[in-house]
C-alpha cells in the first residue's frame, strides 16, 4: 500500500460535472459508493498522485492515464470501464483503446451483452456491473394524452432525428406530447430541435438537472430512447426504476439492460418500427401495461445496493490479490 490506513482509489473520467453526462454520473456515484471504505479522488487525468488502485472510465479517452499508471505501477490493480463509444466504435479503430484492454488488470462493461464485443483473450478478466438509480414512486400521468419523455443530449449517438421523424409519421390527431431533455451539443441538431417545436406536440426543454430530468421521466407514460450507441443507458435505468415503460432501439446498450426479449425494442434507426410501437402504446392500454410490467421485473437489477456490492467486491478483490503479489 502507498500509505497506512484506508487504501486510495483514483477514478479517472475525461468529463467534469459540467458535462452532466453518463460518464460523469458514473464516476460520481462510484466515488460515493467507495468512499465508505476507501480514500477516493476523481480526476480528469491521472495526476501521478499516490493511489493503490486506478479506475479509468473510457479506454480511448483515458488511454494516456492508463499507460502512465501501468508503467509507473505495474504491480498495482488497474480497472478500465468500457463506455459505449469504446465498445461499439473505438475498439475497431483505435490502437490506444485496444492497448488499454491489454494493460488493464480488470475490465468492466455496463450491460449484459457487452462482453461479446470484446476480444476473446480479455473476456476472462471482464465483469458486468449494471448501473443503478434510486427507485421512485409511480406518478399520476395525464389521462387525455400519451406523454413521452426523451432524455439525451443533442448529439448524433443519441439519434434525436428519429424522434423528429417519428413525430412527422404519427397521425396529427393522435393525442400525445413529447418532452425532450438534453443540452445542445451540435448546432445543426439544435436548429432542428427548434424547428420541430413548430409542432405543438413536441417541446425541447434543453438541459435540466438530473433530478428534474428524472421527474420528466417519472411523469411520462413512456421513455423513448432511440440511441445508436450506449455502454448502458442511464436514462433507461432511470425509467425502469420510476415505473415508466420504455421504447428503445435494440442496440446492446439497451437490450443488455431490458433483456433481448423485451417487447419495446425496435430496430436501430427504424422510425417506422418505432412509430408502430408508439401507436400500439397509445391505442392499446394492455400493451403499455405489459411493457411496464416487464420493466418492473427488471428493476431489481438496477438497485443502488446491488451496484455498490458489485463494485466493492471488484475493488476489494483487486486489492487483495495485489497485496498477495507484494
Q: What is the pLDDT of residues 291-323, one digit of tens each?
A: 999 999 999 999 999 999 999 999 999 998 765
Cα separation, 174 vs 161, whole angstroms: 20
Contacts of 18 (CB under 8 A, 6+ apart): none
Q: What is the pLDDT of residues 192-250, one digit of tens each?
A: 999 999 999 999 999 999 999 999 999 999 999 999 999 999 999 999 999 999 999 99
Contacts of 186 (CB under 8 A, 6+ apart): 154, 155, 156
Provide mean pLDDT across the span 110-137. Answer: 96
Cell numbers given for 276: 408502430
Do 169 and 195 fall into the same domain?
yes
3 has pLDDT over 50: no
- Structural domain harbouring 104: 8-132+303-325
Do 183 and 274 fall into the same domain?
yes
How confident is the model at residue 17, as a pLDDT?
Answer: 67
Kindly state the percentage of the chain with pLDDT values over 70: 96
Do 155 and 273 fall into the same domain?
yes
Provide mean pLDDT across the span 145-163. Answer: 97
Q: Is residue 137 part of a domain?
A: no
How confident is the model at residue 253, as a pLDDT?
Answer: 95
Q: Is residue 95 part of a domain?
A: yes
Cell numbers given for 153: 443530449
Containing 219, the helix (H) or strand (E) segment is: none
For residue 250, the tally of other CB atoms under 10 A from its CB is: 16
Do 51 and 152 fall into the same domain?
no
83 has pLDDT over 70: yes
Asked if residue 52 lies in contact with residue 2, where contact means CB atoms within 8 angstroms, the answer is: yes
The CATH number for 114's domain is: 3.40.50.2000
Do 97 and 228 fall into the same domain?
no
324 has pLDDT over 50: no
Q: Is residue 64 part of a domain?
A: yes
Do 171 and 213 fall into the same domain?
yes
4 has pLDDT over 90: no
User: Predicted confidence band at 24 (pLDDT cuts at 50, 70, 90)?
Assistant: confident
How confident is the model at residue 254, as a pLDDT?
Answer: 97
Q: Is residue 85 part of a domain?
A: yes
Cα separation, 230 vs 111, whole angstroms: 9
Do 155 and 238 fall into the same domain?
yes
Do 61 and 114 fall into the same domain?
yes
How confident is the model at residue 323, as a pLDDT?
Answer: 54
Q: How many domains is the chain built from?
A: 2
pTM for the full predicted model = 0.92
How confident is the model at residue 2, as a pLDDT?
Answer: 47
Do 264 and 174 fall into the same domain?
yes
Do 227 and 240 fall into the same domain?
yes
Do 210 and 233 fall into the same domain?
yes
User: Predicted confidence band at 46 (pLDDT cuts at 50, 70, 90)?
Assistant: very high
Asked if residue 105 lies in contact with residue 318, where contact means CB atoms within 8 angstroms, the answer is: yes
Do 85 and 152 fall into the same domain?
no
Give the neighbor-by-neighbor strand order of the sheet with 39-43.
39-43, 8-12, 53-57, 78-81, 106-109, 126-128
109 has pLDDT over 50: yes
Q: Return left, alpha or beta for 48; rule: phi > 0 is left, psi -120 to 50 is alpha, else beta.
A: left
Closest residue by Cα to residue 279 from 179, 199, 174:
174
Provide mean pLDDT across the span 15-31. Answer: 81
Q: Is residue 238 part of a domain?
A: yes
What are the phi and psi torsion angles at 156 (to 5°)?
-55, -40
For the chain, the average pLDDT equals: 94
103 has pLDDT over 80: yes
Which whole-number Å values give the CA distances from 59 to 67, 94, 108, in the listed order? 10, 10, 11
Q: Is residue 138 part of a domain?
A: no
Q: Is residue 248 part of a domain?
A: yes
173 has pLDDT over 60: yes
Q: Is residue 2 part of a domain?
A: no
How confident is the model at residue 19, as a pLDDT?
Answer: 61
Amino acid at each position: 500500500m502507498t500509505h497506512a490506513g484506508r487504501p486510495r482509489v483514483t477514478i479517472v473520467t475525461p468529463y467534469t460535472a459540467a458535462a452532466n453526462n453518463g460518464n460523469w454520473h458514473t464516476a460520481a456515484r462510484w466515488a460515493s459508493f467507495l468512499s465508505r471504505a476507501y480514500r477516493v479522488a476523481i480526476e480528469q487525468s491521472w495526476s501521478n498522485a499516490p493511489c493503490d488502485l486506478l479506475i479509468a472510465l473510457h479506454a480511448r479517452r483515458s488511454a494516456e492515464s492508463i499507460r502512465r499508471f501501468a508503467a509507473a505501477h505495474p504491480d498495482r490493480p488497474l480497472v478500465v470501464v468500457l463506455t459505449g463509444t469504446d465498445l461499439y466504435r473505438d475498439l475497431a479503430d483505435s490502437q490506444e483503446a485496444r492497448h488499454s484492454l491489454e494493460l488493464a488488470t480488470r475490465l468492466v462493461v455496463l450491460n449484459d451483452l457487452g462482453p461479446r464485443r470484446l476480444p476473446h483473450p480479455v473476456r476472462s478478466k471482464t465483469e458486468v456491473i449494471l448501473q443503478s438509480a434510486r427507485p421512485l414512486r409511480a406518478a399520476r400521468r395525464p389521462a387525455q394524452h400519451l406523454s413521452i419523455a426523451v432524455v439525451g443530449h443533442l448529439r448524433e449517438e443519441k439519434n434525436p432525428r428519429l424522434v423528429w421523424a417519428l413525430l412527422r409519421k404519427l397521425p396529427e390527431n393522435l393525442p400525445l406530447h413529447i418532452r425532450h431533455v438534453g443540452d445542445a451539443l451540435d448546432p445543426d441538431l439544435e436548429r432542428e430541435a427548434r424547428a420541430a417545436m413548430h409542432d405543438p406536440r413536441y417541446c425541447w426543454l434543453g438541459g435540466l438537472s438530473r433530478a428534474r430530468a428524472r421527474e420528466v421521466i417519472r411523469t411520462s407514460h413512456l421513455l423513448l430512447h432511440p440511441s445508436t450507441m450506449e455502454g448502458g443507458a442511464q436514462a433507461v435505468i432511470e425509467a425502469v426504476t420510476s415505473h415508466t415503460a420504455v421504447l428503445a432501439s435494440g442496440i446492446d446498450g439497451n437490450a443488455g439492460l431490458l433483456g433481448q426479449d423485451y417487447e419495446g425494442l425496435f430496430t436501430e434507426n427504424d422510425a417506422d418500427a418505432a412509430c408502430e410501437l408508439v401507436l400500439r402504446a397509445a391505442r392499446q392500454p394492455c400493451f403499455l401495461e405489459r411493457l411496464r410490467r416487464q420493466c418492473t421485473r427488471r428493476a431489481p437489477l438496477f438497485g443502488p445496493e446491488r451496484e455498490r456490492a458489485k463494485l466493492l467486491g471488484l475493488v476489494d478483490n483487486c486489492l487483495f490479490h495485489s497485496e498477495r503479489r507484494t
